Structure 1
């Protein structure tokens, strides 16, 4: 059994269901643009989207580390080339315990960024500044710009099971809009250097 599957099993009690696989595959079929025009205006998020995001986030935060790890394990399973972009995971002699600790720490940092973005939706300049700086850092880490769009779909697939009793197309759209906005400013930062 692969390291990813062992980590996922230890978190969820199972590997992945066929339902999970179909969500990942369908989310990968969404169009992901690798071209970026920084002159275009940023994507819009409505007040209704903001309300949905905050309500959902209150639920997701209860198990944020698990959601973050599942997001990255799923991302690495579906896009192994993304795994190689992470400097921390390149060590050949990293034990499974060390790997889990590194993965958890990174996942929590990303979840912290999502948290900051949700609460900065009332002050879009602060959100823009945060994500532009994130883009600059990721460019300095030699992250490919096309990797930036992948995390949103994977995150959405990871939170759906926690929210299945309330999840609607409107929820999906709100989260997709948030990640489009985050990615827009991240890409803008990556293109600025």
Structure 2
């Protein structure tokens, strides 16, 4: 496992504001956003799919129909929602994401794959925000994912929960 983590990223007040405003627009499509995020991840980085045992060797069509993928995508979106509900309290985001990172050690998640989620998520929400989409909005969401993944990776390093 790669064991260094960059400097602790933070969100500005302006980024928080535009993230929360835009979330209200796409939140009704949360299941589709989650599914699109993972389908895009597996299409652009097929090597990642091989590390998700339930999805290993599945075709794109089978993946789109997979109840397991839908369930996982919804859990990831629930984590995004948890972070959004704690967005004004960075310590609480840290706690949520470090615990999640610690659990992912059990799933043999690759440390370096964690950073791939932000760009895939942005790809998934962009069409739902096309009327208001701009570079500032994109950077704000990417920054939120930098915050989330930073703490998740810290949890993988510092707080692994080994159950095997």
> Scaled by the length of structure 1, what TM-score is found?
0.75
Select the residue among 65, 85, 89 that pairs with 1:123: 89
Match status 1:60 vs 2:26:
yes
Residue segments in structure 1 that go unaligned for 5+ positions in a row: 1-33
Deviation at 1:87, TM superposition (A): 2.7
Contact preservation (8 Å) 2:122, 2:138: yes
SS of corresponding position for 2:23: helix
Match of 1:151 in 2: 117
CA distance in 2: counterparts of 1:143 and 1:43, whole angstroms: 22
CA distance in 2: counterparts of 1:48 and 1:161, whole angstroms: 22
Structure 1 residues 32-81: Cα deviation after superposition (integer angstroms, max 9, x where no partner)? xx66237x3x1010111111111111111111111110110010011111
Q: CA RMSD in A?
A: 2.0
Deviation at 1:121, TM superposition (A): 1.2
CA distance in 2: counterparts of 1:97 and 1:160, whole angstroms: 22
Structure 1 residues 171-193: Cα deviation after superposition (integer angstroms, max 9, x where no partner)? 01110110000010001011114
Contact preservation (8 Å) 2:39, 2:64: no
Select the residue among 64, 72, 81 that pairs with 1:106: 72
**Change in 2 beyond 3 A, CA 1:99/1:91:** farther
Q: Which of 1 and 2 has greater Rg?
A: 1
Match of 1:51 in 2: 17
Match of 2:98 in 1: 132
Residue segments in structure 2 that go unaligned for 5+ positions in a row: none
Match of 2:4 in 1: 36
SS of corresponding position for 1:148: helix
> Scaled by the length of structure 2, what TM-score is found?
0.88
Deviation at 1:119, TM superposition (A): 1.3
**Change in 2 beyond 3 A, CA 1:58/1:98:** closer
Deviation at 1:98, TM superposition (A): 9.2
Higher relative contact order (CA 8 A, sep 6+): 2
CA distance in 2: counterparts of 1:37 and 1:149, whole angstroms: 11
Deviation at 1:90, TM superposition (A): 3.7
Deviation at 1:102, TM superposition (A): 1.1
Match status 1:142 vs 2:108:
yes
56-65 vs 81-90, greater mean Cα deviation: 81-90
SS of corresponding position for 1:177: helix
Contact preservation (8 Å) 1:89, 1:99: no
Match of 2:51 in 1: 85
Match of 2:138 in 1: 172
State the number of aligned residues: 156
CA distance in 1: counterparts of 2:73 and 2:64, whole angstroms: 14
